[in-house]
Amino acid sequence: MRKLETIRVLYRDLNLSLWGLPYNLRPGQAPRNLQDAGNTAGWIWLGSPGWFGGMTIAEMDEVREYLARHAVYVPGNAYEHSTLESEAAP
């Protein structure tokens, strides 16, 4: 299973794929900059609109449940991101 409990930031890339970042961003830092630089180690792919790639049914269900619990934070447009408040470091 995916380590969804480690996600701190949700990010939607140019292709509308949704990613979970397992760390908080520094002030002024954006996931797009990290992705453009190839610094995506540890990122968790959560699928694209209507497509879950090679995920098993159990993984798809896990991702759907996770995103339903955090629906208010799921970015809808390319390059948008949000920090999960309940997961953010103080």
> Domain ranges in the chain?
4-81
24-32 long-range contacts (CB < 8 A, ≥24 apart) are 24/83, 24/88, 24/89, 25/81, 25/83, 30/79, 30/81, 31/81, 32/79
Q: For 29-86, what is each residue's pLDDT tens digit?
A: 999 999 999 999 999 999 999 899 999 999 999 999 999 999 999 999 999 999 998 6
Percent composition of the chain: helix, strand, coil (DSSP 3-state, to 5): 30, 15, 50
Give the pLDDT band of residue 1 (cuts 50, 70, 90). Answer: low
